[in-house]
Amino acid sequence: IDAGLNWIGPSPQSIRDLGDKVTARHIAMKAGAPLVPGTQDPVKDADEVVAFAKEYGVPVAIKAAFGGGGRGMKVARTLEEIPELFESATREAVAAFGRGECFVERYLDKPRHVEAQVIADKHGNVVVAGTRDCSLQRRFQKLVEEAPAPFLTDEQREQIHSSAKAICREAGYYGAGTVEYLVGQDGLISFLEVNTRLQVEHPVTEETSGIDLVLEQFKIARGEALDITEDPTPRGHSIEFRINGEDAGRGFLPAPGPVTVYEPPSGPGVRMDSGVEAGSVIGGQFDSMLAKLIVTGADRDQALARARRALDEFEVQGLATVLPFHRAVVSDPAFIGDGTSFDVHTRWIETEFDNQIPPFTGGEPLEEDEVLPRQSMVVEVSGRRVEVSLPGHFGLGAAAEGVVRKKPKPRKRGGAAGGAASGDSVTAPMQGTVVKVAVEEGQEVAEGDLIVVLEAMKMENPVNAHKAGIVTGLAVEAGAAITQGTVLTEIK
């Protein structure tokens, strides 16, 4: 801007004000937006969080003041776990955003996550292009989004539209942005945050509003007034599925690796936004999202029907993805609903989803008693190319020649990662970096105690003790890069 370039987006002051969640809360209060109790300023330490929780009760949300996307956010349900969670939130915030300030607010248990897509020009016109529901999340990060947000009352929709526009006017906002809310089980609405940019899920609003949100940003930057002055009426229904490199059968653990096969779907109502192709290698240093599948229909039922077909056609091999979860959820009665409501909320995946998805094994799931053939590959040895034949389990398969392996048994629940354990050993459930070692050699631990914290794909994952005993042979330290299966310690 100082160089005379035309900045496409909100003003730097709006980004500063709304990007700081503490300042954004002050703006929302001035605008009269609905808010749950929270701290007016960042907290200095875990003791302040404990004091807030004693005054307002648990659960409380510890949130990075300059964060977003679920990173740097932890929910404490007891006073005892606040110190560890405050430390984790601060550490995650520094790693993701470069700043560790956190604030605290009362947490609405089992809420829906609903947001308003706003566009505003430099002439004072502010329009809500539509609402979205983003309640299907794991670790407070979105997996499925849909527009318009279903099963809201007229009063709730009006409150969201009017308060979103009031917040943007109070902040002097122009450009495209998202005002986010939590909706409690009792219908209570509470302002969450403002994202001063287009978000991953913006295509579902484009599909249902007919507005090209990217084009609107360019026109607003040129100083043009909005073509519309009234909130548009939604046309049809659209659902977006984030295709992430995570193992849904192992608590959505990050799963870096190569993409050996990539065949996206097509057909009526199907849109693909993709960042990979066959041959791409997904590293653990970045976000886990590979692509977005957007499916649109005349109504929610048709969008779901088209989504089932498209997800069945979608094929990705070489690494674990969340496709099996998406295929399951579009047929789950809790998500489908009864026409007037549905049962999903931001913790539904961790607490209520009946996870029958088997862990990723490195290839296509085996049928009962299926044997994989030997596979050939070309390798280079001392400058010479040699073709070798390997048992299936060394390649993309999962059974050696003449050896039968049973299909993995389904597991219930899709909760957070624990420690992979075999006998006395605690092993790393995924590839990543050790960001914290919570125990010392010779320390006595109880089952469930924190052993280490691993970070991969910008997400922290705790590894806990699988049994009570004494920590023996502690083999890692903070900063160590480890692979899946690395023995972290033994408990004897």
CATH number at residue 97: 3.30.1490.20
Higher pLDDT pick, 371 / 137: 137
Residue 305 CA to residue 26 CA, distance in Å, equals 43
Give the pLDDT score at 382.
52
Last residue of a domain, one of 73, 89, 106: 106
Instruction: Please check whether residues 397 and 433 belong to one and the same domain.
Output: no
Q: What HEC string does the chain produce? A: CCCCCCCCCCCHHHHHHHHCHHHHHHHHHHCCCCCCCECCCCECCHHHHHHHHHHHCCCEEEEEEEEECCEEEEEECCCCCHHHHHHHHHHHHHHHHCCCCEEEEECCCCCEEEEEEEEECCCCCEEEEEEEEEEEEECCEEEEEEECCCCCCHHHHHHHHHHHHHHHHHCCCCEEEEEEEEECCCCCEEEEEEECCCCCCHHHHHHHHCCCHHHHHHHHHCCCCCCCCCCCCCCCEEEEEEEECEEHHHCCEECCEECCEEECCCCCCEEEEECCCCCCEECCCCCCEEEEEEEEECCHHHHHHHHHHHHHHCEEECCCCCHHHHHHHCCCHHHHCCCCCCCCCCCHHHHCCCCCCCCCCCCCCCCCCCCCCCEEEEEEECCEEEEEEECHHHCCCCCCCCCCCCCCCCCCCCCCCCCEEECCEEECCCCEEEEEECCCCCCEECCCCEEEEEEECCEEEEEECCCCEEEECCCCCCCCEECCCCEEEEEC
Whether residue 92 contacts residue 454, with contact meaning beta carbons closer than 8 Å, is answered with: no
In a domain, 85, yes or no: yes
Does residue 372 carry a pLDDT above 70?
no
Give the pLDDT score at 70.
73
In a domain, 8, yes or no: no
Mean pLDDT of 152-161: 97
Mean pLDDT of the chain: 88
Phi/psi at 353 (5° precision): -65, 125
Last residue of a domain, one of 106, 130, 154: 106
In a domain, 16, yes or no: no
Residue 122 CA to residue 116 CA, distance in Å, equals 19
In a domain, 214, yes or no: yes
Instruction: Please check whether residues 183 and 268 belong to one and the same domain.
Output: yes
Instruction: Please check whether residues 185 and 266 belong to one and the same domain.
Output: yes
Instruction: Please check whether residues 301 and 216 belong to one and the same domain.
Output: yes
Instruction: Please check whether residues 137 and 261 belong to one and the same domain.
Output: yes
Instruction: Please check whether residues 324 and 338 belong to one and the same domain.
Output: yes
Instruction: Please check whether residues 284 and 382 belong to one and the same domain.
Output: no
Does residue 407 carry a pLDDT above 70?
no
In a domain, 126, yes or no: yes
Number of structural domains found in the chain: 4
Last residue of a domain, one of 106, 141, 166: 106
First to last CA, the chain: 62
- Tallying the residues shown for the chain, one arrives at 492
In a domain, 356, yes or no: no
Q: Pick the range with the lowest mean pLDDT from 67-76, 129-138, 269-278.
A: 67-76
Instruction: Please check whether residues 175 and 241 belong to one and the same domain.
Output: yes
Does residue 379 carry a pLDDT above 80?
no
Portion of the chain with pLDDT greater than 90, in percent: 74
Does residue 414 carry a pLDDT above 50?
no
Give the pLDDT score at 423.
84
Instruction: Please check whether residues 434 and 375 belong to one and the same domain.
Output: no
Instruction: Please check whether residues 97 and 139 belong to one and the same domain.
Output: no
Q: Residues 213-269: pLDDT tens digits?
A: 999 999 999 999 999 999 999 999 999 999 999 999 999 998 889 999 999 999 999
CATH of the domain at 322: 3.30.470.20
Whole-prediction pTM value? 0.74
In a domain, 302, yes or no: yes
Give the pLDDT score at 405.
38
Give the pLDDT score at 388.
58
Instruction: Please check whether residues 101 and 145 belong to one and the same domain.
Output: no
Does residue 461 carry a pLDDT above 90?
no
In a domain, 2, yes or no: no
Q: pLDDT band for position 360 (50/70/90)?
A: very high
Mean pLDDT of 26-50: 94
Q: Residues 426-456: pLDDT tens digits?
A: 999 888 899 999 999 999 999 999 999 998 8
Q: Residues 306-335: pLDDT tens digits?
A: 999 999 999 999 999 999 999 999 999 999
Give the pLDDT score at 95.
85
Instruction: Please check whether residues 66 and 149 belong to one and the same domain.
Output: no
CATH of the domain at 443: 2.40.50.100
394 lies in which domain range? 366-406
Does residue 84 carry a pLDDT above 70?
yes
Does residue 387 carry a pLDDT above 70?
no
Q: Pick the range with the lowest mean pLDDT from 42-56, 239-253, 409-423, 478-492.
A: 409-423
Higher pLDDT pick, 74 / 407: 74
